[in-house]
């Protein structure tokens, strides 16, 4: 058994890359295109971790995290933020919004996987 | 990434996405310029550039990352309301968008971008915000691809194991952020041998236990050969959410411990210890776990919930796939398909159409009555086939929007270089045309737009003198009209100066002095090879490409171009094109026993040759008098080498063919069968170039017929009629 991950990003390229990296690591990715879509996909889903972009149409990453944290079922679901800036205030803002951690874009697949294990554990059989 | 293939695919898809994003950026900037923008418009522009930067970073496209980053920084100022845009600023942003487009193209084609060409625009852009260069560079340096970080870790020199003592005490905010000490400890365990001790001292009586408090702390002895910063990385996300001390211990080495399993048991151990210490209160704790699924904020170790979660998550993930596919607010679903597959489908449908025609013919030949079930079912089958054909053609259709946006850029660039102020108005951007047609229209359209800006529109002074606004206007429109698509390029300039056109044509020997020409005949002189009205060849339009080339490329697409002009009001070019290149309206004819197809677009009329209209010219040739002019007479059977010339052509069927330069030829055929749509089958791949032949098709009876290329046929006409039509017209 592997980790199931919900990845939300409005860029098709980044979604493709996330999907590839996650699949190659043996994870099960679910993808969404923006915050609103992310919440729809999340409905009824219990992912082991969520990865989200910040700059997105309709509902941005901060709004998405807030909405996810507002649901009892996802109060403690680990959420990693994808960001192109590694500035400390951005991290602080991500954390203030309820994010668990962050990944700097462009991400290194190995580091992404390590970060996911760090927040979501090794999966059931590991 | 182990396999190069998926990455190459994502890379290709990235450049397609870039095109879409650039289109969105262009749209947004246009809206801002027109004052039709809202806050979201700027956001869309920002996100477009931001996404390009994000993807570019992933592929190490440094040129693109650098430019996009600096562009984005200025856009962010606009987004934050700190920078207002006037018309000139928007134009600057558009110019920068054009450069971004070029850099994307360069990156796609692995061409290096000349930084010196890019820098001035960037600096101009940054001067809007007064941003200093040094600051920008610093930020760029901050944004670095992370691809090497793993190697750095692995490459750490093995200096033997070091022992660290780590004291880790989470605060309640750590749990609120979704972090989990268990996983952090486990990640730590992957760095080396660990010996973990949980401190339970802070746990009060159960009655006083706060469910979401943070009461546990750990002491870990880690023996590892990894660098200290890797240990710190494990705690990166919880920095500031816990008390953390990492201390390097000097001295001896521990005996190796079975690390991983033991680590995972650590919380479990503590759970047991809680239970053994407070045996009576154990049930409420486990109940607590059940009632608060997923809420690991209690100090209760959650080994069990962790192992439980993935199973239901997996199941619900499956069901979610179905649910999300039908999700109403998701954008319209699209599938990207290799063009080759569509070509194949188009070809197969073409075969189906042919096969169906053959079937109809057999049914008719078998003498089955029209009101029989077979004939009626066949009728329905024909209807379905036609519907399938239309639908398949639609797959290849694309809105002309991308083409129009490229033209917007041409207007911007050419007007800037000529110092004219020009506004481009577009209409019918959503009109769909075959993808290949769109691609092949780009060059002729570019040339027409350049011409309109350069020659069509007057100078600012003349415009003001004529009582017009200083800013010239070029209109580019597309529309579907009776099964064809019509694209129009019009300007509100001074119109064609017919006196001048006539003078130049006479000077170049294209028309005879004193020859009477209608207004439209005069305008059509612009399409003659070698014609150019520009007195001084500007570096813009004088590129050796005349309107004759434009006309040729449009005719190659099965289209026609017409020109209309009103003095003082402007000039309009109208291009009419077939919707697809896969089928052709043709006339099926017979010559020397062979069935051939002549493109309908090139046939002006059909007539019958009569003795009184034919005149001998030279030893081998004849001309045919058509109303007031003589037209060279060609025998299709002779031209294609099927037979020798006949002695008498009286009563023969003649097709009057128009060439792109406006001259005509009379083509003798033996019989006209019918006028119909034929499916074009290329010959180039299998046979290479065949003189006078454009392609082939398969007719309803299964017979292969060649499709003529009239231009090529007449230009390579054989000895019997070697007179070029242009020479003849002057002679006539």
- One domain, residues B46 and B102: yes
Q: Quick one: pLDDT at residue B662?
A: 64
Chain A residue nearest residue B324, CA to CA: A41
Peptide bond into A106 cis (omega under 30): yes
Chain B residue nearest residue A58, CA to CA: B40
Q: Quick one: pLDDT at residue B669?
A: 93
**Residue B603 φ then ψ, to 5°:** -90, 125
Return the structure tokens found at B729.
């017209």
* Contact between residue B49 and residue B100 where contact means Cβ atoms under 8 Å apart: yes
Inside any domain, residue A115:
no
Among the partner residues B55, B177, B323, nearest to A98 by beta-carbon distance: B177
Tens digit of each residue's pLDDT (9 = 90 or more) over B356-376: 877 887 888 888 887 888 888
Which positions in chain A touch B44 (Cβ < 8 Å)?
Answer: 57
Residue B577 DSSP class: E
Chain A residue nearest residue B5, CA to CA: A20
Q: Quick one: pLDDT at residue B474?
A: 93
Cβ within 8 Å of residue B667, ≥6 positions away: B598, B634, B635, B636, B654, B655, B656, B657, B710
Inside any domain, residue B150:
no
Tens digit of each residue's pLDDT (9 = 90 or more) over B608-623: 988 888 888 877 788 8
Question: In this model, does residue B280 exceed pLDDT 60?
Answer: no
Inside any domain, residue B24:
yes
Q: Quick one: pLDDT at residue B312?
A: 42
Inside any domain, residue A24:
no
For residue A38, the domain's CATH number is: 3.40.50.2300
- One domain, residues B374 and B458: no
Of A65-74, A110-119, B480-489, the range with the lowest mean pLDDT is B480-489
The domain boundary, picked from B561, B578, B595, lies at: B578
- One domain, residues B263 and B351: no
> CA-to-CA distance for B304 and B656, rounded, in angstroms?
88
Among the partner residues B14, B53, B178, nearest to A100 by beta-carbon distance: B178
Among candidate residues B603, B575, B598, B344, the one with its CA nearest the CA of residue B437 = B575
> CA-to-CA distance for B396 and B343, rounded, in angstroms?
9
CB contact under 8 A, B324 and A16: no
CB contact under 8 A, A10 and B295: no
> CA-to-CA distance for B360 and B700, rounded, in angstroms?
8
Element (H, E) at B704: strand B704-708
CB contact under 8 A, B329 and A36: yes
Domain count, chain B: 5
* pLDDT (average), residues A96-115: 82
The proportion of chain B whose per-residue pLDDT surpasses 90, expressed as a percent, equals 6
* Look-up of token digits 């933020």: A81
CB contact under 8 A, A55 and B10: no
Among the partner residues B9, B51, B317, nearest to A11 by beta-carbon distance: B51
Question: How many angstroms separate the CA of residue A63 from the nearest CA in chain B?
Answer: 15
The domain boundary, picked from B352, B382, B412, lies at: B382
Of B56-70, B153-167, B201-215, B355-369, the range with the lowest mean pLDDT is B153-167
Domain count, chain A: 1
CB contact under 8 A, A28 and B314: yes
For residue B718, the domain's CATH number is: 2.40.50.180
Tens digit of each residue's pLDDT (9 = 90 or more) over B132-147: 444 444 444 444 444 3
Q: Quick one: pLDDT at residue B314?
A: 43
Label the pairing between strands B583-591 and B693-698: unpaired
Tens digit of each residue's pLDDT (9 = 90 or more) over B45-65: 888 888 888 888 888 888 888
Chain B residue nearest residue A1, CA to CA: B310
**Residue B18 φ then ψ, to 5°:** -55, -45
* pLDDT (average), residues B103-132: 79
* pLDDT (average), residues B489-505: 86
CB contact under 8 A, B178 and A84: no
- One domain, residues B504 and B627: no
Which positions in chain B touch A56 (Cβ < 8 Å)?
Answer: 47
Residue B692: strand, helix, or coil? coil
- One domain, residues B104 and B136: yes
Inside any domain, residue B389:
no
**Residue A16 φ then ψ, to 5°:** -60, -45
Tens digit of each residue's pLDDT (9 = 90 or more) over B619-638: 778 888 888 888 888 889 88
Highest mean pLDDT among A81-90, B197-206, B601-610: B601-610
What pTM does this model have? 0.56
CB contact under 8 A, B324 and A10: no
DSSP for B597-643, written as a single string: EEEGGGEEEEEE--GGGEEEETTTEEEEEETTEEEEEEEHHHHTTSS
Under the banding of pLDDT at 50, 70 and 90, the label for residue B670 is: very high
- One domain, residues B597 and B520: no
Residue B708: strand, helix, or coil? strand
Quote ipTM for the complex: 0.82
Tens digit of each residue's pLDDT (9 = 90 or more) over B549-588: 788 888 778 777 888 888 888 999 988 887 666 677 789 9
- One domain, residues B409 and B465: yes
Q: Quick one: pLDDT at residue A90?
A: 72
The proportion of chain B whose per-residue pLDDT surpasses 70, expressed as a percent, equals 77
> CA-to-CA distance for B355 and B21, rounded, in angstroms?
43
> CA-to-CA distance for B115 and B93, rounded, in angstroms?
18
Inside any domain, residue A109:
no
Question: In this model, does residue B646 exceed pLDDT 50?
Answer: yes
Inside any domain, residue B521:
yes
Length of chain A in terms of residues written: 126
Inside any domain, residue A106:
no
Under the banding of pLDDT at 50, 70 and 90, the label for residue B654 is: very high
Of residues B665 and B396, more confidently modeled: B665
> CA-to-CA distance for A95 and A89, rounded, in angstroms?
10
What are residue B423's DSSP bridge partners? B473
Range of the domain at A8: 1-17+31-76+91-99
Question: In this model, does residue B513 exceed pLDDT 60?
Answer: yes
Tens digit of each residue's pLDDT (9 = 90 or more) over B582-602: 677 789 999 989 999 998 877
Among the partner residues B1, B180, B314, nearest to A1 by beta-carbon distance: B314
Q: CB B357: neighbour CB atoms within 10 A? A: 18
* Contact between residue B179 and residue B238 where contact means Cβ atoms under 8 Å apart: yes
- One domain, residues B133 and B37: yes
* pLDDT (average), residues B153-157: 41
Inside any domain, residue B478:
yes
Which positions in chain A touch B50 (Cβ < 8 Å)?
Answer: 55, 84
Question: In this model, does residue B149 exceed pLDDT 60?
Answer: no
Inside any domain, residue B388:
no
- One domain, residues B29 and B137: yes
Inside any domain, residue B334:
no
Tens digit of each residue's pLDDT (9 = 90 or more) over B213-264: 777 788 888 888 877 777 887 887 887 778 888 887 765 544 544 444 444 4
Among candidate residues B154, B59, B187, B2, the one with its CA nearest the CA of residue A24 = B2
B393 CB burial (10 A radius; 0-12, 13-18, 19+):
middle
Of B623-632, B657-666, B697-706, the range with the lowest mean pLDDT is B657-666
Residue B371: strand, helix, or coil? coil
Question: In this model, does residue B492 exceed pLDDT 70?
Answer: yes
Under the banding of pLDDT at 50, 70 and 90, the label for residue B199 is: confident
Question: In this model, does residue B416 exceed pLDDT 80?
Answer: yes
The domain boundary, picked from B523, B555, B578, lies at: B578
CB contact under 8 A, A85 and B142: yes
Range of the domain at B643: 583-731
Q: In what order do the strands lie in the sheet with B217-224?
A: B192-199, B217-224, B162-170, B242-249
Of residues B700 and B294, more confidently modeled: B700
Q: Quick one: pLDDT at residue B498?
A: 86
CB contact under 8 A, A75 and B313: no
* Contact between residue B396 and residue B436 where contact means Cβ atoms under 8 Å apart: yes
Cα A56 versus chain centre, distance: 13
Element (H, E) at A102: strand A101-104
Which positions in chain B touch A114 (Cβ < 8 Å)?
Answer: 187
* pLDDT (average), residues B472-490: 85
> CA-to-CA distance for B172 and B496, rounded, in angstroms?
80
Inside any domain, residue A41:
yes
Which positions in chain A touch B333 (Cβ < 8 Å)?
Answer: none
Average pLDDT over all residues of chain B: 75
Chain A to chain B Cβ contacts (< 8 Å): 187
* Contact between residue B448 and residue B489 where contact means Cβ atoms under 8 Å apart: yes
Q: Quick one: pLDDT at residue B316?
A: 42
Inside any domain, residue A68:
yes
Return the structure tokens found at A35.
């915050």
CB contact under 8 A, B329 and A77: no
Return the structure tokens found at B454.
């350069």
Which positions in chain B touch A123 (Cβ < 8 Å)?
Answer: 310
């Amino acid at each position: 058994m592997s980790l199931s991950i919900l990845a939300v990003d409005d860029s098709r390229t980044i979604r493709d890359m996330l999907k590839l990296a996650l699949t190659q690591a043996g994870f099960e990715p679910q993808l969404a295109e923006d915050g609103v879509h992310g919440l729809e996909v999340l409905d009824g889903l219990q992912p082991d971790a969520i990865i989200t972009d910040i700059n997105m149409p309709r509902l941005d990453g901060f709004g998405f995290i807030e909405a996810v944290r507002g649901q009892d079922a996802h109060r403690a679901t680990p959420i990693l933020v994808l960001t192109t800036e590694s500035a400390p205030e951005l991290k602080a803002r991500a954390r203030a919004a309820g994010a668990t951690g962050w990944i700097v874009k462009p991400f290194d697949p190995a580091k992404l996987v390590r970060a996911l294990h760090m927040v979501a554990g090794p999966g059931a059989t590991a | 990434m182990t396999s190069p293939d998926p990455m190459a695919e994502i890379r290709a898809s990235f450049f397609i996405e870039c095109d879409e994003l650039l289109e969105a950026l262009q749209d947004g900037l246009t809206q801002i310029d027109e004052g039709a923008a809202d806050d979201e418009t700027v956001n869309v522009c920002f996100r477009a550039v931001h996404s390009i930067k994000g993807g570019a970073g992933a592929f190490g496209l440094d040129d693109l990352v650098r430019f996009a980053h600096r562009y984005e920084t200025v856009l962010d100022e606009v987004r934050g309301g700190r920078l207002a845009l006037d018309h000139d600023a928007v134009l600057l942003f558009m110019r920068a968008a054009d450069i971004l487009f070029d850099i994307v193209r360069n990156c796609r084609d692995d061409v290096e971008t000349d930084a010196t060409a890019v820098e001035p625009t960037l600096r101009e852009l940054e001067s809007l915000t007064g941003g200093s260069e040094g600051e920008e560079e610093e930020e760029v340096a901050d944004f670095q691809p992370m691809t090497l970080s793993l190697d750095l870790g692995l490459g750490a020199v093995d200096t033997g194991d070091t022992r660290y003592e780590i004291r880790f005490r989470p605060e309640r905010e750590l749990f609120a952020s979704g972090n989990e000490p268990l996983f952090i400890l486990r990640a730590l365990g992957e760095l080396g041998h660990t010996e973990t001790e949980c401190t339970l001292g802070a746990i009060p009586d159960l009655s006083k236990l706060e469910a979401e408090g943070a009461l546990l702390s750990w002491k870990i002895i880690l023996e590892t050969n990894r660098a200290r910063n890797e240990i710190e990385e494990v705690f990166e996300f919880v920095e500031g959410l816990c008390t953390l001390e990492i201390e390097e211990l000097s001295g001896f080495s521990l005996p190796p411990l079975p690390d991983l399993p033991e680590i995972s048991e650590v919380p479990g151990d503590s759970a047991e210890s809680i239970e053994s210490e407070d045996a009576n209160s154990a049930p409420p704790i486990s109940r607590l776990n059940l009632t608060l699924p997923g809420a690991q904020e209690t100090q209760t170790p959650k080994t069990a919930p962790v192992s439980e979660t993935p199973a239901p998550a997996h199941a619900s993930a499956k069901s979610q796939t179905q649910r999300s596919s039908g999700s109403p607010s998701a954008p319209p679903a699209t599938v990207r398909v290799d063009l080759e597959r569509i070509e194949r489908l188009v070809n197969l449908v073409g075969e189906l159409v042919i096969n169906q025609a053959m079937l109809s013919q057999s049914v008719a030949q078998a003498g089955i009555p029209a009101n029989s079930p077979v004939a009626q079912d066949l009728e329905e089958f024909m209807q379905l086939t036609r519907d399938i054909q239309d639908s398949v053609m639609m797959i290849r259709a694309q809105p002309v929007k991308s083409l129009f946006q490229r033209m917007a850029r041409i207007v911007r660039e050419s007007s800037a270089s000529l110092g004219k102020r020009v506004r481009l108005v577009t209409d019918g951007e959503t009109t769909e045309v075959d993808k290949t047609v769109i691609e092949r229209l780009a060059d002729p359209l570019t040339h027409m737009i350049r011409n309109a800006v350069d020659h069509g529109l007057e100078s600012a002074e003349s415009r003001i003198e004529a009582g017009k606004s200083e800013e010239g206007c070029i209109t580019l429109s597309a529309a579907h009209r009776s099964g064809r698509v019509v694209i129009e390029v019009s300007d509100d300039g001074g119109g064609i100066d017919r006196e001048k056109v006539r003078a130049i044509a006479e000077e170049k020997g294209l028309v005879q002095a004193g020859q009477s020409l209608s207004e439209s005949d005069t305008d059509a002189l612009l399409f003659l090879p070698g014609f150019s009205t520009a007195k001084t060849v500007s570096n813009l339009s004088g590129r050796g490409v005349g309107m004759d080339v434009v006309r040729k490329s449009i005719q190659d697409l099965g289209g026609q171009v017409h020109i209309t002009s009103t003095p003082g009001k402007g000039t309009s070019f109208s291009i009419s094109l077939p919707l697809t290149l896969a089928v052709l309206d043709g006339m099926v004819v017979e010559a020397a026993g062979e069935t051939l197809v002549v493109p309908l677009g090139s046939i002006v009329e059909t007539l019958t040759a009569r003795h009184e209209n034919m005149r001998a010219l030279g030893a081998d040739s004849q001309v045919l008098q058509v109303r007031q002019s003589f037209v060279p007479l060609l025998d299709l059977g002779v031209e294609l080498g099927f037979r020798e010339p006949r002695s008498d052509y009286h009563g023969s069927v003649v097709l009057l063919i128009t060439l792109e330069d406006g001259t005509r030829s009379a083509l003798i055929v033996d019989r006209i069968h019918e006028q119909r749509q034929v499916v074009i089958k290329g010959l180039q791949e299998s046979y290479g170039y065949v003189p006078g032949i454009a392609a082939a098709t398969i007719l309803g009876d299964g017979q292969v017929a060649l499709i003529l290329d009239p231009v090529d046929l007449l230009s390579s006409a054989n000895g019997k009629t070697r007179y070029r039509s242009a020479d003849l017209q002057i002679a006539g």
